[in-house]
Amino acid sequence: MSSEEISTRMLGNIPTEVDKSEGSFFYDAIKSVAIELETKQEEISIALGRGFATTAEGEYLDRKVSEQNITRKPATNATGNVTITGQHGAIIKTGMKVSSASLTYTYDSEDKVIGVTTIETVMVKCDTLGSIGNVPSDTIKFFPVSVAGLSAVTNNDAFTNGYDGEPDNELRERYLEKIRTPPTSGNKYHYSNWAKEVTGIGDAKVFPLWAGAGTVKVVIIDSNKQPPGSELVVDVANNIEDHRPIGATVTVEAAAGKDIDISVSLTISSEYTQNQVEINIQTNIIAYLAEIAFVETYVSFARIGSLILGSEGVLDYTGLTVNTGTANIAIADTEVAILGIITLT
């Protein structure tokens, strides 16, 4: 209710013989109160929303889901191996940093001496939390500070195990899933919850009795909606092992990646380069594939076309094919669609 409506109602309770016109004592006194009541009404509405999982956000959502013993999954640092080239006898010291063009990574294990091969492989951790630390191969190429005896560094493999903190929508969904599909006595909802509570897991599918009585298969994807690495599979298996009923035989598997290869001829705006347009298309399609991961059973050919046309810098397109065809791409129960090769002409 607006302050005008509040003041009108309050003035209506004052006898008519009293001057209530604008500028009068009663009008001015009531108007200021009405404004304050409107503000408090808004604050009460906000406070009320913080008490329900469907409307709570941030720390208030954390408090709400804690009632069901659910906690927000934190962000993690991307880690991976880098190959360092240097002089025989040079020392790779704890705390040494390497970097990409925009991110730094730290070596935090024991000091290591470069051997006669002049090459050593060490594990480093991104200094910045989240998926931003996931970089392609041959991206980490620099020493932010020169290190005596060390001449070159590179990552031969991509970094893929950095995960953003669990967003409100996913945390809310886990809470509502637990409330609406109560896990009891090791039913399939129990296995789903045990898998999803592991940091880095984006979703899970449970297949009861998949290989006969007493067997359960759990297929998982990571928080980036990609097939998870072996370490994450082990983490989920161990967490389920700590909770599962005695006698159940549980298999945890990573979802198989289903490559989505795209070929298309574009008409590009003169304000954009082909590389910029390709990045825009990749961003849109990756977001779409993440949106449908473990939700839809196919990748929509029409949706791919719409995303390409809606990408910044694209004026028109012809000759679109997805996996060499022009039909929807079926995704099996144990698969997740991932972007493969984009060919632009």
Confidence of residue 248 (pLDDT cuts 50, 70, 90): confident
DSSP letter, residue 65: H
Dihedral sign, CA of 164, 166, 168, 169? Answer: positive
Q: Rounded to the nearest 5°, which phi and psi values hold at 266?
A: -115, 150
pTM > 0.95: no
pLDDT in tens, 252-286: 999 999 999 999 999 999 999 999 999 999 999 99
The C-alpha atoms of residue 25 and residue 21 are separated, in whole angstroms, by: 9
pLDDT category of residue 19 using cuts at 50, 70 and 90: confident
What single letter denotes the amino acid at residue 208?
P
- In this structure, are residues 262 and 277 in contact, taking their beta carbons and an 8 Å threshold? no
pLDDT (tens digit per residue) in 139-161: 999 999 999 999 999 999 999 89
Average pLDDT, the chain: 92
In sign, the C-alpha dihedral spanning 19, 22, 25, 27 is positive
Percent of the chain with pLDDT over 70: 100
CA distances from 206 to 72, 103, 123, 135, 201 (A): 22, 37, 34, 31, 14
Q: What does the pLDDT average to over 310-327?
A: 95
pLDDT in tens, 31-90: 888 888 888 888 888 899 999 999 999 999 999 999 999 999 999 999 999 999 999 999
109 Cβ contact list (under 8 Å, min separation 6): 94, 122, 123
Output the pLDDT for position 41. Answer: 85
